Structure 1
Amino acid sequence: MIQHVVLFAFGSHPEGMTKEEFLLQAKDRFEELADLIEPLEKITVTININPNEEYDLMLHGVLGKYEDVDVYAKHPEHVSRVQKWIKPYVSKRACIDGELLF
């Protein structure tokens, strides 16, 4: 099992939305992907509640094998949501892919 963890810091958000509304919508949009992208076994999106930290959102996905990360990343639903909900507003991103050990 592979865990795919991505942290996002946002420098802005869509006009007409508060940052909190934006983060909640982004969370919902990405959690829907578990039902749409077959190699993605589970996804959890967490909104940071600590105002002293720079990252706003953490995405934690679980996939069967490392090659599935690429399938997930290139899936049209993932690409579409990243283009709409992340790229226009993100100021910083960090990612780790690693084996999920118990």
Structure 2
Amino acid sequence: MVKHIVMWKIQGVNGQSKEETAQEIKRTLEDLNGKIEGLIHLEVGIDFLQSDASYDVVLYSELANKEALDFYQNHPLHVKAATEVVKPAATSRIVVDYEM
């Protein structure tokens, strides 16, 4: 099993507040559950502390294996979500991928 974790600092886009944008990211990414082979579980959290050290949004996902991670990252639904919703809002991004 592979764990794929991504954190973003974001800004509001398209006339939305930062909080509204965070909620849109959450809805869009969590909608991928059950639609991409090898994606076991995906959840998105929104930071509530909002400290200087905090990132605003975190994605936690579990995938069957490294091949499933590659398939997920290149899947048209994921690419669309990343390109149309996440990337326009992201000002910073960090990622960790590890195997269990």
TM-score normalised by the chain length of structure 1: 0.90
Q: What SS does the aligned partner of 1:22 have? A: helix
Residue equivalent to 1:30: 29
Q: Aligned partners of 1:34 and 1:15: how far apart in 2?
A: 25
Residue equivalent to 1:16: 15
Q: What CA RMSD, in Å, does the superposition of the two structures yield over aligned residues?
A: 1.1
Mark the runs of 5 or more structure 1 residues left unpaired by the alignment: none
Q: How do 1:72-83 and structure 2 match up within 5 A?
A: 72-83=72-83
Q: Match of 1:82, as an amino acid?
A: A
Aligned partners of 2:72 and 2:78 also within 8 Å: yes
Q: What SS does the aligned partner of 1:34 have? A: coil
Residue equivalent to 1:97: 97
Q: Aligned partners of 1:26 and 1:89: how far apart in 2?
A: 9
Cα drift, residue 14 of structure 1: 1.6
Q: Aligned partners of 1:97 and 1:59: how far apart in 2?
A: 12
Cα drift, residue 15 of structure 1: 2.7
Q: What SS does the aligned partner of 1:86 have? A: helix
Aligned partners of 2:47 and 2:54 also within 8 Å: no
Residue equivalent to 1:60: 60
Q: Aligned partners of 1:89 and 1:31: how far apart in 2?
A: 17
Cα drift, residue 23 of structure 1: 0.5
Q: Aligned partners of 2:50 and 2:9: how far apart in 1?
A: 12
Identity, in percent, stands at: 31
Q: How many residue pairs align between the two structures?
A: 99
Comparing 26-35 with 15-24, which one deviates more in the overlay? Answer: 15-24
Mark the runs of 5 or more structure 2 residues left unpaired by the alignment: none
Residue equivalent to 1:48: 47
Q: What SS does the aligned partner of 1:71 have? A: helix
